Amino acid sequence: MKRESARRTSKTTKLGYNERHAKSGITAPLPSIETFPNQYKGYEITIEIPEYTAICPKTNLPDFGTVTIHYMPNKACLELKSLKMYIHAYRDLGIFYENAVNRILHDVVASCRPVWATVTGGFTARGGLSSKIEAKYP
């Protein structure tokens, strides 16, 4: 019984993933995403970023994908050059897909305070599996 309980509460999986891997990249410093004042209400913006790259924190292999940001601006819009620099900063960052998509959403919301936002990551296949991750605000 004790061994079974210890196995369930272990912070390392059979494949060697641990809490350090899981939290990798979540609080890493990244460039800020700048904004500019929005002049209109009630419209949507979709930004597609087909060159997303990052590093798997467990294997150190590169991850590739397309990140799509879809939002309704409120008082500010995302400035694209700073967004590009922000996304390029992921290139050398060890972070899981799920964390990257949620972190991007968090940082977009913190920057421009949209009415609503969705960030979707479509990640290229590795080993016959591809992933699509979606995070929404609110």
In the structure, what pLDDT confidence band is assigned to residue 123 with cuts at 50, 70 and 90? very high
Close Cβ partners of 124 (under 8 Å, ≥ 6 residues apart): 63, 64, 65, 130
Hey, which residues are catalytic here? 56, 63
Q: 70-120, pLDDT tens digit by residue? A: 999 999 999 999 999 999 999 999 999 999 999 999 999 999 999 999 999
Mean pLDDT computed over 11-29: 81
Distance of CA 101 to the CA centre of its chain: 2
Evaluate if residue 5 carries a pLDDT over 50: no
| Rounded Cα gap, residues 84 and 51, in angstroms | 10
Query: What is the residue-averaged pLDDT of the chain?
Result: 90
The CATH number of domain 2-137, selected from 1.10.3720.10, 3.30.1130.10, 3.30.1300.10, 3.30.1330.10: 3.30.1130.10
Q: Are 38 and 76 in contact (CB under 8 A)?
A: yes
Domain ranges of the chain: 2-137
**C-alpha atoms less than 13 angstroms from C-alpha of 106 in its C-beta half-sphere:** 9
pLDDT at 1: 42
Phi then psi for residue 19, to 5 deg, are: -60, -35
Q: What token pair was written down for 69?
A: 């940001």
Q: Are 53 and 128 in contact (CB under 8 A)?
A: no
